[in-house]
Amino acid sequence: MSAKIIDGKQVAARVREELAGLVAQRIEQGGSQPHLAAVLVGDDPASAVYVRNKERACAKVGMKSTLIKLPRETSQSELLELVASLNADASVNGILVQLPLPPQINEVDVLDSISPLKDVDCFHPENVGLMMQGRPRFLPCTPHGCQELLIDSGTIVAGAHAVVLGRSEIVGKPMAALLVQKGAGANATVTIAHSRTQNLAEITRQADILVAAIGKPEFVTADMVKPGAVVIDVGINRVGDKLVGDVDFEAVSQVASAITPVPGGVGPMTIAMLIKNTLRAAEIQTGTSS
Ligand code: GUN
């Protein structure tokens, strides 16, 4: 078997087109241009690329973005002060602090200080709680992007056994929460497996849908995948000068029925969902949300 490639780049372009229409409509009706403020601390090259891609995506849909670059030595209190000023700035709708942060900064304290109404990453405990309860204000960008790819590829999620490999706050945990909800692209039976799971391959082989977010290059091998499974690869790992996912793409695409590539799978969808959240944040803040 040779799996169908789920083209995240193409789906993300379509989502952006829809969002561009909604942004134009909002502005036509006298609404403000949605505005994302991204904060980058230090000079991590991968983070710089991500932030640049986020800015480009904003421009493509007609949104405003501001990048605030701070030196690697920035103190916790300086960063908290910046976030407080962005919280208070009514012209800023969404705030994104790019992770990871340098070691002198407590990530949780900084993320918790972002106004929940501007928390377009959906990292704030209030927003995580609302999402868990099935009444989301925002949806977490990467898990939401994966869910949209499942829907777009025609994967039947309801009643399927979804195995999420990885338990991070950014992907694994919220991914499992979205898949188990009632609603489109959900209603799955969900297992979370991780680095401490016993008989891991036995569990992943039971997956109709396998979401790999364990952060280890090409960790998922063909023998870990049930024939015909749909495989979503969230990993982005640099190996030498090559980017690879958490899935051994060549081998697993001989077993799976559909698979996302790296790059060009989940990554562009994460950014598209961030843009969607920024528009939603603008709508919530100006009382124009439906
Ligand atoms: N670093 C890696 N992924 C993410 C993300 O989704 N949001 C933020 N803010 N930082 C990240």
Is residue 260 located within the same domain as residue 149?
Answer: yes
Evaluate if residue 258 carries a pLDDT over 90.
Answer: yes
Whether the CB of 234 sits within 6 Å of ligand 1: no
Q: Is 98 in the pocket of ligand 1 (CB under 6 A)?
A: yes
Strands 35-41 and 64-70: what pairing?
parallel
Question: Could you give the CA distance from residue 225 to residue 206 in angstroms, rounded to a whole number?
Answer: 8
Integer CA distances (angstroms), 240 to 6, 212, 217, 243, 244, in order: 25, 21, 11, 8, 10
**CATH assignment at residue 158:** 3.40.50.720
Crossing angle between the packed helical segments 8-28 and 141-152, to the nearest 10 degrees:
110
Confidence of residue 288 (pLDDT cuts 50, 70, 90): confident
> If pLDDT is split at 50, 70 and 90, which confidence band does 290 have?
low
Q: Is residue 285 part of a domain?
A: no
- Give the count of domains, the chain: 2
Ligand 1: which atom is nearest the Cα of residue 140?
Answer: 6
Task: Give the tens place of pLDDT for each residue, 191-245.
Answer: 999 999 999 999 999 999 999 999 999 999 999 999 999 999 999 999 999 999 9
Q: Give Cα 192 to chain centroid, integer Å.
A: 18
Catalytic residues: 54, 98, 121
Same domain, 99 and 163: no
46-57 pLDDT, tens digit each: 999 999 999 999
Statement to judge: residues 147 and 262 lie in one domain: yes
Residue 1 has pLDDT above 80, yes or no: no
AA identity, residue 206: Q
106 plus 51 within the same structural domain: yes
Whether 85 maps to a domain, the answer reads yes
Q: Is 119 in the pocket of ligand 1 (CB under 6 A)?
A: no
Rounded CA-CA distance 39/33 in Å is 19
Domain extent, residue 49, equals 31-116
Helices (H) and strands (E) counted in the chain, each on its own, are: 10, 11
CA of 163 to the centre of ligand 1 (A): 22
Note whether 148 and 250 are same-domain residues: yes
Residue nearest to atom 11 of ligand 1 (CA): 99
> For residues 208 and 161, is the Cβ–Cβ distance under 8 A?
yes
Q: Answer whether residue 274 is part of any domain.
A: no
Does residue 44 belong to any structural domain of this protein? yes
Give the CATH number of the domain where residue 46 resides: 3.40.50.10860
Phi, psi of 36 (to 5 degrees): -105, 130
Q: Decide if 177 is inside a domain.
A: yes
Residue 279: inside a domain, yes or no?
no
3-state secondary structure of 239: strand
Q: Is residue 10 part of a domain?
A: no
Rounded to two decimals, the pTM is: 0.97
Task: Mark whether 105 and 163 lie in a shared domain.
Answer: no
Among the candidates 77, 100, 116, a domain finishes at 116
Question: What is the predicted pLDDT for the residue at 289?
Answer: 80
Instruction: Pick the residue whose CA is nearest to atom 1 on ligand 1.
Output: 99
Q: Are residues 195 and 77 in the same domain?
A: no
- Say how many Å lie between the CA of residue 150 and the centre of ligand 1: 21
Question: Is 96 a pocket residue for ligand 1 (Cβ < 6 Å)?
Answer: yes
Verify that 41 and 153 share a domain, yes or no: no
Cα(159) to ligand 1 centroid in Å equals 30
Q: Do 250 and 156 share a structural domain?
A: yes
Residues 174 and 237 in one domain: yes
CB-CB contact of 269 with 145 (8 Å) = yes
Residue 245 and residue 161 share a domain? yes
Q: pLDDT at residue 171 above 80?
A: yes
Angle of the 8-28 helix axis to the 266-285 helix axis, nearest 10:
20
Percent of the chain with pLDDT over 90: 98
User: How far, in Å, from the CA of 139 to the mean position of ligand 1?
Assistant: 14
- The finding on whether 141 has its CB within 6 A of some atom of ligand 1 is yes
Alpha carbon of 98 to ligand 1 centroid (Å): 5
Query: Which residues on neighbouring strands pair with residue 163, listed in sequence order?
Result: 191, 210
Q: Which of 121, 171, 266, 273 to mutate to test the pocket of ligand 1 (most atoms within 8 A of CB)?
A: 121
- What CA–CA distance (Å, rounded) separates 157 from 143? 14
Q: Determine contact, residues 219/193, Cβ cutoff 8 Å.
A: no
Same domain, 182 and 238: yes
pLDDT at 139: 98
Asked, for residue 273, whether it belongs to a domain, the answer is: no
Share above pLDDT 70 across residues of the chain, in percent, rounded to a whole number: 99
Given the CA of residue 100, which atom of ligand 1 is nearest to it?
1
